[in-house]
Structure 1
Amino acid sequence: MDLNTAIPVGEMALRLFAAAVCGAALGLDREMRGKAAGLRTNTLVAISSALTTLVALELYWDLARHGDEGRMDPTRVIQGVAQAVGFISAGVMFRAGNSVHGATTAAVIWVAGALGIACGAGYYLLAGMATALCLLVTVLFTYAVRRLPVATRSEDRPEAQPED
């Protein structure tokens, strides 16, 4: 097994662990609300996104060591991960009559993927800020919406499409 990597093994472990923590934070919130995609889903999406980013960076730097860096663009991984996570996210959304359910859960899964990319690339501060902001939105906004008068809540209007 070749441990001669561009990113030190300890740094790789830290990036994967940071992705797991960010994904778990989002997933725990969804789990506590009884949503379909919770702790495990969001944690695994974040880890897989970080892993894919790490592999792309390692492949790029391995090619660069051999003078062939022009054949690969590691930023393409971001596009691929975003598409794959979008596909997973679409799976948790469903329409029932005039209502759409699971949109917030789908958005959180997409954020978990982006957090994994950020952690995989080593942008811990960015990932931490985004995790905190996402939790602020999902927790604080939930309480704020519940305090709105019944007639103004989107889920109480038949023509509206609630998130979940």
Structure 2
Amino acid sequence: MDLSQFEPQHVSWGEAGLRLGLAVILPLLIGMERFLRKKPIDFRPFVVISVAACGLSMASMELAMTSFDQQIRIDPTRVFEGVITGIGFLGAGAMFRQQNYVMGAGSASAIWAAGAIGIVCGLGMLWLSLFIALPILLILIVSAPFVERYDPGGHPGDRSSEEELAQ
């Protein structure tokens, strides 16, 4: 059995590990912020989505750079389009309407961003993944007191807000 099929052809093991590692760490931080604030989604989907998107990005780039017959062409951007569209559907599932208020938009957009971070990590643009993740994490943390104070919809775990909405 030829074991060369199990190793990356265009990046080193270290580079692949670094890409996947960052695809775990950055969305984990975003997911933990959501989890610690008792949002309706925990940190696990953020990591799973990002790692899967990273893996698909690396695989599509490996395929695109592998020499095939001239008649076969691989377009990695189509993979990215499919991944982002699928993640959009997952994010939509995190949003819900309660009377006149839409809740979960922050978590839904953070899910979508986790996919983008995974794709960017998979492409090897680790610097860009940091520049995507840090402002997202910052806005989620810094805006929390404002949202909690002025959000008329309240939060799903807040009983007083739910009781007010029911009236």
TM over 0.5: yes
- 1:132 shift after superposition: 0.8
CA distance in 1, matches of 2:65, 2:27: 27
2:20 to 16, 23, 29: 16
8 Å contact kept, 1:92–1:106 = yes
Task: Calculate percent identity across the aligned residue pairs.
Answer: 32
CA distance in 1, matches of 2:61, 2:139: 31
- Matched positions, count: 152
CA distance in 2, matches of 1:36, 1:116: 22
SS in 1 for 2:97: strand
8 Å contact kept, 1:60–1:69 = no
- 1:4 shift after superposition: 5.4
**Structure 1: gaps spanning 5 or more residues:** 148-152
SS in 2 for 1:129: helix
1:66 is the counterpart of 2:68:
yes
Q: TM-score, normalised by structure 2?
A: 0.83
Q: TM-score, normalised by structure 1?
A: 0.84
Q: Give the counterpart letter for 1:71 in structure 2.
A: R
**Structure 2: gaps spanning 5 or more residues:** 157-167
- 1:109 shift after superposition: 0.2
TM-align CA RMSD: 2.0
- 1:70 shift after superposition: 5.7
Taking a change above 3 Å as real, the CA distance of residues 162 and 118 of structure 1, as seen in their structure-2 partners, is farther
- 1:146 shift after superposition: 4.5
1:120 is the counterpart of 2:113:
no
- 1:162 shift after superposition: 7.2
8 Å contact kept, 1:61–1:69 = no
Q: Give the counterpart letter for 2:74 in structure 1.
A: M
Q: Give the counterpart letter for 1:56 in structure 2.
A: S
- 1:112 shift after superposition: 0.4
Taking a change above 3 Å as real, the CA distance of residues 163 and 117 of structure 1, as seen in their structure-2 partners, is farther
